[in-house]
């Protein structure tokens, strides 16, 4: 594969821009997709006791704080990111862990359907990334978790304001 850019700084900037565009497309597909399949997962998710806002916020923000720290560590070594394949190989593990942690989070009742759909789409995106059908360099720098709908986001952000992981990671449930 061709090099992403000629200097490490230019490569890093190009990777961030490219990753941003790819995960923007992912976020749009999460918002627009009605899902398909995954009915067994939906039944499992609805069978457990619904989570509280505080539990959900803690799970998501902890996972996202870990994800951003791992991505930052990878990006501090631009010499290891010479090609799009290098980027994909290095970013796949943290994206996979984020998708799993997101799937494991227990949402409050009014967010259960959105969470299941977003979790399914995020997992499918990880699978596309691992199979080479989603270019990691085309998704660098954008939060892969889509914005939470409406008033629920404001309520969760109220809880997040008091959560150290949310503050550290700069996670915003309402961002587009």
**From the CB of residue 116, how many other CB atoms can be counted at a distance below 10 Å?**
21
Mean pLDDT of 97-105: 94
Domain tally, the chain: 1
Residue 28 lies in a domain: yes
Specify if 67 maps to a domain. yes
Under 8 Å between Cβ of 104 and 124: no
Residues 50-90: pLDDT tens digits? 899 999 999 999 999 999 899 899 989 989 888 878 888 88
- What is this structure's pTM? 0.69
Q: Is residue 70 part of a domain?
A: yes
Residue 3 in domain: no
Q: Would 88 be classed as within a structural domain?
A: yes
Residue 43 lies in a domain: no
Does residue 46 form part of some domain? no
pLDDT range class, residue 6, cuts 50, 70, 90: very low
Q: Do the domain assignments include residue 44? A: no
- CA distance linking residue 77 with residue 89, whole number of Å: 14
19-39 pLDDT, tens digit each: 433 333 333 233 333 333 344
Range of the domain at 57: 8-33+51-169
Q: Exposed, middle or buried: residue 139 (CB in 10 Å: 0-12, 13-18, 19+)?
A: buried
């Amino acid at each position: 594969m061709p090099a992403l850019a000629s200097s490490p700084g230019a490569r890093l900037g190009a990777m961030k821009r490219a990753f941003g565009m790819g995960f923007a497309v992912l976020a749009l597909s999460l918002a627009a997709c009605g899902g398909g399949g995954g009915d067994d997962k939906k039944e499992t998710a609805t069978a457990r006791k619904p989570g509280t806002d505080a539990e959900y916020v803690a799970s998501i923000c902890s996972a996202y704080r870990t994800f951003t720290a791992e991505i930052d560590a990878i990006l501090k070594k631009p010499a290891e990111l010479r090609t799009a394949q290098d980027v994909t190989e290095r970013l796949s593990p943290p994206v996979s862990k984020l998708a799993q942690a997101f799937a494991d989070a227990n949402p409050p009742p009014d967010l259960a359907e959105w969470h299941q759909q977003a979790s399914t789409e995020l997992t499918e995106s990880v699978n596309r990334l691992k199979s080479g059908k989603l270019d990691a360099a085309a998704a660098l720098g954008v939060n892969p978790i889509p914005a939470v709908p409406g008033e629920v986001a404001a309520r969760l952000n109220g809880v997040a304001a008091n959560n150290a992981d949310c503050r550290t990671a700069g996670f915003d449930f309402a961002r587009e």
